[in-house]
Structure 1
Amino acid sequence: MRPISYLRAEGTDAVDSALRAVGGDPGSDFLAGGTTEVDLLRQNVLGPRRLVDINRLPLADIEDLPDGGLRIGALARMSEVASSPAVQERFPLVSRALVLGASAQLRHMASMGGNMMQRVRCGYYRDGESPCNKREPGAGCAALAGVSRNHAVLGTSEHCIATHPSDVAVPLVALDARIHTRTLEGEHTYAIDDFFLEPGDAPHREHPLTHGELITAIEVPALPMARRSLYLKVRDRESYEFALVSVAAAIEVRDGKVSGVRIALGGVGTRPWRARRAEDALVGGPATTKSFDLAARAELAVARTTPMNAFKPELARRTLVRALETLTADGSPS
């Protein structure tokens, strides 16, 4: 058994106290809901010497922004955000992704900031023994020649094909959210496109954060078309399960043509995947099933599959088309 010490950050300078405790000690990590971190501790995948409990920090509010967007505190629980009237009205795709992303018990515990930092669900990463470049850089990737049905087909590299696990990160990517962080040196802001890194040659590095950098909030800018949006998730079973494919989408149609669209995919990428090729193909064109299909095919043309997950591009194509048809409700048959 490995001894782990525990420190609760609280008091008038609790945020700075937590930053000093973790930033000054490479063996310390932040602890919020712990729904992923505790599992990885038990599996000997993570090995901090000390956990700094940040649950009493004043970072749990959901605030209106002047432009109609929202600022969601990093310690707001998934269940609180999912049930927020402002989220449900302005960003239903976020609320739906949160509900579908975890069981009720996990949603009551898991924090929004922690969800942005959750580690991959690859079995080879989590068994603590198989070769894994995320866990031990340079060790190799057992999934490349192993069981890979649930692995990624977009954004992969020769060093890693693990799928990003978050549901709510998918609509946040579609909405161009911003991640706010804090260090002892000050505050920082990351465009969400810059926050999630593809594996490339350094799959162990999933985010640009430095050790001891704390997520404080997620900012979701206003997007009127998001009021009529959806999150569609396909999985092996309807109970709590990770996505084989998911789609977060919002679309605006004027005079039968697509005037604006946001699309992101989950379950298929090494990061929450912004479908920019599909968006570019759609804007200015007719809002028809044929156009939706062509856009989906353009996005998935770069997919790299294994024999076990070769079904994913086709499943993603169908799911994306279905999502856009549902939102427009008048897509004409191809």
Structure 2
Amino acid sequence: MTTYVWDYLPEYENERADLLDAVETVFGSGQLVLGKSVRGFEEEFAAYHGLAHCVGVDNGTNAVKLGLQALGIGPGDEVITVSNTAAPTVVAIDGTGAKPVFVDVHEDDYLMDVSQVEAAITPRTKALLPVHLYGQCVDMAPLTALAERHGLAVLEDCAQAHGARQGGRTAGTMSDAAAFSFYPTKVLGAYGDGGAVVTDDAQVERRLRRLRYYGMEERYYVVETPGHNSRLDEVQAEILRRKLTRLDTYIEGRRAVAARYEEGLGDLAELTLPRTNPGNEHVHYVYVVRHPRRDAVLEALRPHGFHFNISYPWPVHTMSGFRHLGVPTGSLPVTERLAGEIFSLPMYPALPRTVQDRVIEVLRGVLRGV
């Protein structure tokens, strides 16, 4: 039996009746595009965050891209972010015509090192894009204070942090706008692609609605400014509405899995487990650990049927597709070192206890031999 870091089938079996009813609800509604399911989800997701507006879009990458564009970011601008992230964060910046500028991350939490941001600001800098990686928030108070001093927009990338909190504030509520992905693996995942941007700014919301709908405002065929076809699918929106009511339960399940890993693996000297920063409430989107001989560990696990992901094996600035940015290898030493040491253990709310126990048992045995 092969064990992977994520499997949706146990959740599907548990929620099958509700999920199929969601599909039937949309198919019987008479409206398949931007209907009442999208409107309902937008209202409910905004309310979950205590914000005025949510605009559903087709995926998380476009949530970042359209969010930046709605904040006025475009060609010639610079956006400061991190290279220790999923490539779509940077693809989205590049898609606006802006230039991604990278700062390094902390050694212990793998998040943006906010102390490096000010030195990276130039006259072309227009936005900061913190990535709430793996399920917990970047240190937002000093980052937003810095943005205010320099007149910069802030867009939170919350693709991995649905429901995470910092100082009592929910991820996505500490900036001008925030982008979410609902890719199936996410803490709040659809059964296909989906995304959204949340904001309290009515002007940003209005721009977002135009941008996701070809640039049209009220009347079809009348383009106000060129936009995109980036609408959230009605079926996915209805599924997300149902799952949103269970989001806090999903998070509790993830925390329980994390606690059992801590109990079962916390005494292993060379295996570094995730750290939750003071004031943060971690949602454990992925459970990322570190080992100085990571590749040997993963190879030793394969005969036992374990195929674990690395999030992420190649920092974005080292990828050939971003060679044009001119960021040399060695310029982000912490990010580059982490890429050779991190890997992810299975993490999802419906992870069977027997599977987790086997992961702990086999990993402990393997680590004694590498």
TM-score range relative to shorter protein: under 0.3
**Which has a greater percent of strand?**
1
Give the alignment's TM-score, normalised by structure 2. Answer: 0.24
Structure having the higher helix fraction is 2
